[in-house]
Amino acid sequence: MLHSLRSVLVPIRREGFPFIAAFAVAAIILFWLWQPLGWAAAAATAWCIYFFRDPPRVTPVDSAIAVSPADGRVSAIGVVQPPKELLLGDRDRRRVSIFMNVFNCHVNRAPVAGRIARIAYTPGKFFNAELDKASEFNERNGLVIESRAGAIGVVQIAGLVARRIVCFTAAGSEISQGERIGMIRFGSRVDLYLPLTAEVLVAVGQTAIAGETVIARFGPEARERMARID
């Protein structure tokens, strides 16, 4: 019985409690004023609870792969220079962008295990997160993870509706593959910056699941580095 309840009752992030409470109070007031508005507010409350869900995930722990940092749709794959604030140098990297709509789970997870070498918050605008210019101009929070495969960049990008990026970790912390690293409230995007030698295993339009979908396998250079570490 307890197992069945756990499978249905997905945990809710505490960051969502103030929003859920506000929606619920609004629903009560609107029910008192006019029932149709109350039902609309009740539906919005249910959506808010759904938005802040934090389901458990089963991560394929493997230092030779990178798992998805976010739930959503793979919106772009390309070769670009990483954001300057990450201090990853001027060499091109392979970028995989994952767009999260307002119905996706917005808890972000570490694509690799390692040490958080840098966290760089950059204030900015709120363009549609699916646009390429969002990587450069939107509000964002970048993390650099020093892993066995080298430095990996993860950038949380705010979107049209998103107005708050939350980071769960700190510079210098050790983090496990698939561990929660933060969330973005109400629609956004996460960019993953990988070495050029990484083999991307997903396609544009594919749905990714944070902490579970294998995004890429690291190339020969990374595997040689791992062998030296071992």
Residue type, position 51, single letter: F
Cα end-to-end distance, the chain, whole Å: 45
* Cβ atoms 194, 178 nearer than 8 A: no
| Separation of alpha carbons 81 and 44, rounded Å | 40
Name the residue among 191, 146, 139 with its Cα closest to residue 165. 139
Alpha-carbon dihedral angle through residues 75, 81, 84, 88, given to the nearest 10 degrees? 110
CB atoms within 10 A of CB 185: 20
Q: Which residues of 131-154 are buried (b: 16+ CB within 10 A; e: fewer)?
A: beebbbebbbbbbbbebbbbbbbb
188 is catalytic: yes
| Separation of alpha carbons 3 and 183, rounded Å | 27
Query: What percent of the residues of the chain are helix, what percent strand, and what percent coil, each to the nearest 5?
Result: 25, 35, 40
Catalytic residue among 63, 75, 135, 188: 188
Residue type, position 130, single letter: E
Show the tokens assigned to 70.
């976010």
Active site residues: 188
